[in-house]
Structure 1
Amino acid sequence: MLEEADFDRDDAAPIDMLESYFSAHGWNHQRDEDEIVAKVKGSWAPYELRAIWREDDGVLQFLAFPDIRVPDDRRPALYEAIGLVNEQLWIGHFELWSQSGILLFRHAAMVDGDEATLSLAQAELLVESAIDECERFYPVFQFVLWGGKTPAEAIAAALIETQGEA
């Protein structure tokens, strides 16, 4: 968890704040005026994180792409898994892009006001919740795609709560 003391200010324009956040973590990233893309190594896979600022709408769209491409023959089962997974989420959702077969997690933040700034806490919530959900549900998608499990079996297997220490 980063501290506000690590930043010049505790709020900034959305893409500026995310750029500072990515830099503070040492994550490789590229930035355009209204978009930033970072590469992050997760526990299960690398993730591409992408934020797009739509100033006219006051919306910061945040996308996380786990390294999962879905073959055509597995799409029906994965769509069912996505539906079951999305029922578990409070913020954001998973979806499958029909043209490319790319699985992604997406959510957005309303950034209103005259100055349209994003706080460190908001940036952290946006980024960390996306990574956490990708990490949490990555096994579900793998069980469905390559493990021969039904979506219901995959959810049950992946969401087992462990107790104690090994």
Structure 2
Amino acid sequence: MTTLSTGHSEITVSNPVDMAEELAGANDWAVERHSDHELTMFISGQYTEMQFRVFWREDFKTLQFACLFDLRVPEGRQSDIYQVIGLINERMWIGHFEYWSEEEVLLFRHASLANDPLLGGIGEDHMVTMIETALGECERFYPVFQFVMWGGQTPAEAIESAMLECAGCA
């Protein structure tokens, strides 16, 4: 699991995108701010570079994350990718993976509602947990996609190979 630095004892901002930008700065991630309600963070993962996009919908009080990784689906492997996404998503508790065929983009996406006035919106702990969750799921399942696309494994074989739990220590 990825643990983020906040750089502050407490971040207090009303726009969650501002908070995400501060967290990116505290973790030395490059940021491209598109608007008051959207930004992209560029994060180096264990396996690949990720574009981590944050979207705030004020009208719905919803914060959405989309984590795209640099992984192209080879010609003829789209049906296997859809199958492995289905098998992976069955295991997901929060968020889901998608493949956008027109853009040829594989991504993890999830959202959080912030419309409970008693909770006061998206706080720092909430933001950190959402980002850590998305990064953790991308890191956990990236090898599965690699095994299917480049390792010649079936979706079931890839999940079994990548999801082995090690016991003990070497």
CA deviation after TM superposition for structure 1 residue 71, in Å = 2.8
Residue 31 of structure 2 aligns with which residue? 29
CA deviation after TM superposition for structure 1 residue 47, in Å = 0.6
Residue identity opposite 2:29 in structure 1: W
Distance 1:15 1:79, change over 3 A: same
CA distance in 2, matches of 1:76, 1:161: 27
CA distance in 2, matches of 1:34, 1:113: 19
Residue identity opposite 2:99 in structure 1: L
CA RMSD of aligned residues (A): 1.9
CA distance in 1, matches of 2:137, 2:62: 21
CA distance in 1, matches of 2:27, 2:69: 19
Residue identity opposite 1:145 in structure 2: M
Answer whether contact 2:6 2:26 (CA < 8 A) is retained.
no
Answer whether contact 2:72 2:105 (CA < 8 A) is retained.
yes
Answer whether contact 2:48 2:70 (CA < 8 A) is retained.
yes
TM (normalized to structure 1)?
A: 0.92
Q: Secondary structure at the match of 1:131?
A: helix
Answer whether contact 1:17 1:118 (CA < 8 A) is retained.
no
Q: Secondary structure at the match of 1:9?
A: coil
CA distance in 1, matches of 2:57, 2:75: 32
Unaligned runs of 5+ in 1: none
Answer whether contact 1:12 1:119 (CA < 8 A) is retained.
no
Answer whether contact 2:17 2:37 (CA < 8 A) is retained.
yes
CA deviation after TM superposition for structure 1 residue 72, in Å = 3.8
Matched, 1:133 2:137: yes
Q: Deviations over 1:24-75 (max 9, x none)?
A: 1111111121101010010011111001111111111100011112134100
Matched, 1:107 2:105: no
Residue identity opposite 2:124 in structure 1: L
Answer whether contact 2:52 2:67 (CA < 8 A) is retained.
yes
Unaligned runs of 5+ in 2: none
User: What is the aligned counterpart of 1:97 among 87, 100, 117?
Assistant: 100
Matched, 1:51 2:54: yes
TM (normalized to structure 2)?
A: 0.90
Between 58-67 and 10-19, report the one with greater CA deviation: 10-19
Aligned-pair identity (%): 42
Instruction: Tell me the number of residue pairs that the alignment of Structure 1 and Structure 2 aligns.
Output: 166
CA deviation after TM superposition for structure 1 residue 145, in Å = 0.2
CA distance in 2, matches of 1:77, 1:86: 14
CA distance in 1, matches of 2:100, 2:5: 36
